[in-house]
Structure 1
């Protein structure tokens, strides 16, 4: 599984495909951690920035998730058939990013409404930990993207219903480049404040406030999409 002879521009994309194949084959089973960044970069013949881009691609597909203090964890691909179906339904439409966001607004509102009344003590602590990590990431866009995805996945887990996490992963599977680029234009400080408002509502066990906080957050994202 070496990519040393590939053109530089293709390495990150091919690395993502190679790691995905290894996950599907069972070389990296669900629940396991990928090898350390340096080890995996050497194995694939990649620069570490190119490997980080490959990992980011896989995280956006919902196949892995970077977890602070643990590493990059394989989370499987239960969402993949649904994500593929979403992709076929969108069919490369020019306004696909708008349609994905409309569904995301409905889904994440339902998620935080339930998380507000169902989140456990440890799940609320995890949300706070991710919020702190987001603030500490500064202007590292790769880290911010990973942590933001982890935050929204943690909200879905806090519902106690695994289908919410699967649906969210399937939506992320069809997020467009326009959506990803738009996220990088948003104010980190503003997003952190909006995440904090969601957490505060969940801490208060206030479903209506949680929905309002999430709606405000997603309205900001929608504004960046244009």
Structure 2
């Protein structure tokens, strides 16, 4: 096979795979397919899409790896449910290659959490409130430990997003959860020895929790945004102080 022939073959394969993905995406979005539905058999599906069966088989294997298809040998293929951990790994792999990603990911976090907390004020159940309260207690108990404290901080905010009962927000948050956890731990390593920041950390989280209990959407949104802004400012001051001392020494 010549180089030009190989190039055409590769292009055909990519085009065929994209056609298969586009077909399933359209079918799912339109509601024509849903989890548990059985697909047409391989021959019928290949004819419907106008592609070869080997290419269809390869594309379906890729979809199965993402959990979108459940291929049962001898029984056919069924619509599955995407594994969010695979999506999270994909997001982490892509975004981790970007420079200063932990600072940038904070912007996505603000967008998701501020809407989530407004919904949580309306939708949070008693179990949700209890869970957020438990996460707040864990956060207070781990102030001197950057690793455990960072994870407790992350879980507190994750519990708020869960209390929104919004599948879309929860899925997006989980998709970037690995990066968010790293961000929490890194920020805690920078600030855990600064009393002013730790005092603010506890009070800010307590106030955020109370606004959810009171089901005050506007106050909750405002408190959370203030928490992000103040925390970022105190972290910058902590870095300036640390490097100023280092330079003086």
Taking structure 1 as the reference length, the TM-score comes to 0.57
Query: Larger Rg: 1 or 2?
Result: 2
Of stretches 95-104 and 161-170 in structure 1, the one that deviates more from structure 2 is 161-170
Partner of 1:148: 153
Structure 1 segments of 4 or more deviating over 6 A? none
Partner of 1:202: 212
Within 5 A, what are the aligned runs for 1:173-188? 173-175=178-180, 180-186=185-191, 187-188=197-198
Within 5 A, what are the aligned runs for 1:70-149? 78-87=83-92, 89-90=94-95, 92-149=97-154
Larger relative contact order (Cα-Cα within 8 Å, sequence gap ≥ 6): 1
Aligned length: 150
- What CA distance in whole angstroms lies between the structure 2 residues aligned with 1:126 and 1:178? 22
Whether contact under 8 Å (1:116, 1:202) holds in the other structure is yes
SS at match of 2:117: helix
- What CA distance in whole angstroms lies between the structure 1 residues aligned with 2:97 and 2:86? 17
SS at match of 1:139: coil
SS at match of 1:147: helix
- What CA distance in whole angstroms lies between the structure 1 residues aligned with 2:142 and 2:184? 20
User: Alpha carbons of 1:184 and 1:115: their partners in 2 closer, same or farther (altered >3 Å)?
Assistant: same
Partner of 1:161: 166
Structure 1 residues not aligned, in runs of 5+: 1-76
SS at match of 2:165: coil
User: Alpha carbons of 1:201 and 1:176: their partners in 2 closer, same or farther (altered >3 Å)?
Assistant: closer
Structure 2 residues not aligned, in runs of 5+: 1-81, 192-196, 240-249
Taking structure 2 as the reference length, the TM-score comes to 0.53
